[in-house]
Chains A and B, each alone.
Chain A
Amino acid sequence: MADLITAIKKVLEHTDLVLGWTTATSTGVAAPARFYTADEAEAAVFDSTCVHNLAVHLPRLKDKDVGIVAKPCDAQSVVELVVEREVARGKVKVIAAPCRAMLDVKLIWRRFGYGARIEDEGGRLQVNGREVPREDFILRKCLSCESTDPVIVDEQVEGDGHTGGPPDVGGRTDDLKERFAAMSVDERRAFWAEQFSRCIRCYACRDVCPMCFCRDVCLMQTRVPHWTGGSVESRDSEMAQMIRVSHLAGRCTGCGECERACPVGIPLLLLMNEQYRLIEEMFDYRPGSDIEARPPMQTFSIETDLWEGG
């Protein structure tokens, strides 16, 4: 156990750079940063506005030895990247940071004004110096967090918060998830047809996803074969998302970056969570939980795959 800056400095002795966070000068909340030297590492922070999953950078830093500050959910992405052979275990050092459920910064700023000062100490949230109920501003994905202890840890950062297991969310539940679960099939059809009519095809959902590493050959953008058009019609946008969701089967760890990055607020995590649940139900597999695993969609079992097609 060490404090964050000491841990980063220690890892920097054996790596080219460390991916972490620093305080953004413009807004005062955490922004991703790369630390190459011990001096630079002095500016590192870790707080409950460190929402980003920095594992997305790893496949593009294959030629480097990289350290990464990771929440339990981010660490799962690192594991799955190793499983998918996108990242060599020997080339990455995980600096595990404890998480007390991240804050929905956009939500706070919508309520209290852009750039409102956020202080979160010992489970008490203050905005512009006034205490507000922390549980009201927790990021949606954290309400149904199922992250377990990271299976690869090279340095553990001290601090309060969970290293694995669900964080304390003050008893709040995910209203949207419950409402979606209660919908009929027809209601869900109307729900998605409406949701995707807002999609602007910016591909942020793909670009922030650590497991979307096809990059230049992504089917969402390829027009030959013509799986989907580039229009912003609900039909085309939904097919693009169907492509993304199906390509993440058995690989998505449910980090929720797709939904967080979406500029028009499409609740993509509803789909990712459901697929994650099905993968566990069908194959007893939780992406990001076993570094020796064989991804379930890349194999089969004659003995246990006994479904009949319904």
Chain B
Amino acid sequence: MSDLKLIGFLCNWCSYAGADMAGTSRMKQPSGLRIIRLPCTGRVNPLLIQKAFQEGADGVLVSGCHPGDCHYNEGNYYARRRLELLKRMLPAWGIDPQRFHYTWVSASEGARWAEVVAEFQARIEALGKLEMGYPGGDVVSQVS
């Protein structure tokens, strides 16, 4: 296993269940992704993604219900605007937008989930580790 850190923010209702299905169906997928379960992609503050990069993530994946299928009807519509804006802002912050990916995976798409993870893992492996370049190094300070 590589030392790359990949973080996944998954909505509880679709993508987390989809990832669960990929697991229970014993589908082969890379093990580098650390999953954080959230109620909805609408809960994904874009700052969570920037914070993840700052704290050592090399890639961040956000996945939720397909547009039109949100458990809360419209959470992922708001999320789509925020996430797309963040993706386009990342180059200005000096972070390769390829390191951030958002997508939609339903509870029944275990196979698609395995594909998404494999593709994302391969993409980040090609990019390598993210260096934030802070003076004094990228060591994460202890937060209380």
A residues neighboring B (CB under 8 Å): 185-194, 197, 226-227, 229, 231, 233-236, 238-239, 242-243, 245-246, 249, 270-271, 274-275, 278-279, 281-283, 296-297, 300, 302, 305, 307-310
**A246 in contact with B81 (CB, 8 Å):** no
- Other than A185-B91, A229-B143, A278-B88, give 5 A-B pairs with Cβ distance below 8 A: A185-B94, A187-B94, A194-B135, A275-B89, A305-B80
Find chain A residues with CB under 8 A from B81 CB.
282-283, 296-297, 300, 305
**A188 in contact with B92 (CB, 8 Å):** yes
Give the tally of cross-chain contacts (CB within 8 A): 112
Query: What residue in chain B is nearest A278 (Cβ atoms)?
Result: B88
**B47 in contact with A189 (CB, 8 Å):** no
**A249 in contact with B85 (CB, 8 Å):** yes
Q: How many residues of B contact A (CB 8 A)?
A: 41
Find chain A residues with CB under 8 A from B133 CB.
189-190, 193
Confirm or deny: B50 has a beta carbon within 8 angstroms of a beta carbon on chain A.
yes
Give Cα A72–Cα B136 distance, bound, in whole angstroms.
43
Find chain A residues with CB under 8 A from B108 CB.
none
Q: A246-B46, A246-B47 are in contact. Are A307 and B92 (CB under 8 A)?
A: no
Give Cα A140–Cα B56 distance, bound, in whole angstroms.
35
Give Cα A310–Cα B100 distance, bound, in whole angstroms.
8
Give Cα A257–Cα B94 distance, bound, in whole angstroms.
23
Shortest CB distance B139–A (Å)? 9
Query: What residue in chain A is nearest B135 (Cβ atoms)?
Result: A197
Shortest CB distance A179–B (Å)? 14
Chain B contacts with A in 111-144, Cβ cutoff 8 A: 131-136, 141, 143-144
Confirm or deny: B43 has a beta carbon within 8 angstroms of a beta carbon on chain A.
no
Shortest CB distance A223–B (Å)? 8
**A297 in contact with B82 (CB, 8 Å):** yes
Confirm or deny: B67 has a beta carbon within 8 angstroms of a beta carbon on chain A.
yes
**B88 in contact with A282 (CB, 8 Å):** yes
